[in-house]
Amino acid sequence: MALKEITIFSDGACLGNPGPGGYGAVLIYRGHRRELAGGFSRTTNNRMELIAAISGLAALREPCSVTLFSDSEYVVNGMTKGWARRWRARGWRRENNKPALNWDLWDQLLQLTEKHRVTFQWVKGHAGHTENERCDQLAVEAAQGSSLAIDCGFESPQPPAANKAMETDAARRCGSSASR
């Protein structure tokens, strides 16, 4: 049986860096669309970019063939150039032996890409691309919301070795904002 072909657009935003942040994702399948958004009280832009991609992929209930568009070179290059896989293989260390930032989210993203067949595509941000602009709007609105969740991976990062027994899904550990 052929996999469903899904298109996901994702974007993150941060009001200050660090500061309140939000993410937005738009999933499209055969003309149907679903929008996801959420926010955190204190985080970084790169974490929101990663969480946007993660939230889109995590919303899929079965393995799918996905084209994921992001305006984040950090996310796209991290996946297409193999950075995240190399960091994981080194115990979440970079080539210079420094810790890989946001390893908790990279780990989640890698796990999701092992479940789905994902192609990452970079799209220029703030360039009038309709779906990217919508994701940006969702992310900014989420960052401006009230009752924002706590980004535990940012507030209390744990080194990978100390965190192996802990659940790595920040949304389950810390709660998440409502999706729409």
Per the annotation, the verdict on 95 as an active-site residue is: no
Catalytic position from the list 24, 39, 71, 153: 71
Catalytic position from the list 12, 21, 24, 39: 12
Q: Tell me the CA distances in angstroms from 132 to 38, 40, 49, 169, one per residue in order.
A: 16, 20, 12, 25
Ordered alpha helix ranges (H), the chain: 45-58, 73-80, 83-89, 103-115, 130-143, 152-155, 160-163, 170-174
Instruction: Respond yes or no on whether the N-terminal peptide bond of residue 18 is cis (omega within 30° of 0).
Output: yes
Residue 36 pairs in a beta bridge with 25
Per the annotation, the verdict on 12 as an active-site residue is: yes
Catalytic position from the list 11, 104, 107, 131: 11
Per the annotation, the verdict on 11 as an active-site residue is: yes
Exposed/middle/buried for residue 150 (C-beta within 10 Å: 0-12, 13-18, 19+): middle
Catalytic position from the list 22, 49, 131, 153: 49
Per the annotation, the verdict on 129 as an active-site residue is: no
Catalytic position from the list 73, 91, 114, 126: 126
Catalytic position from the list 107, 131, 136, 151: 136
Per the annotation, the verdict on 32 as an active-site residue is: no
| Residue numbers annotated as active site | 11-12, 49, 71, 126, 136
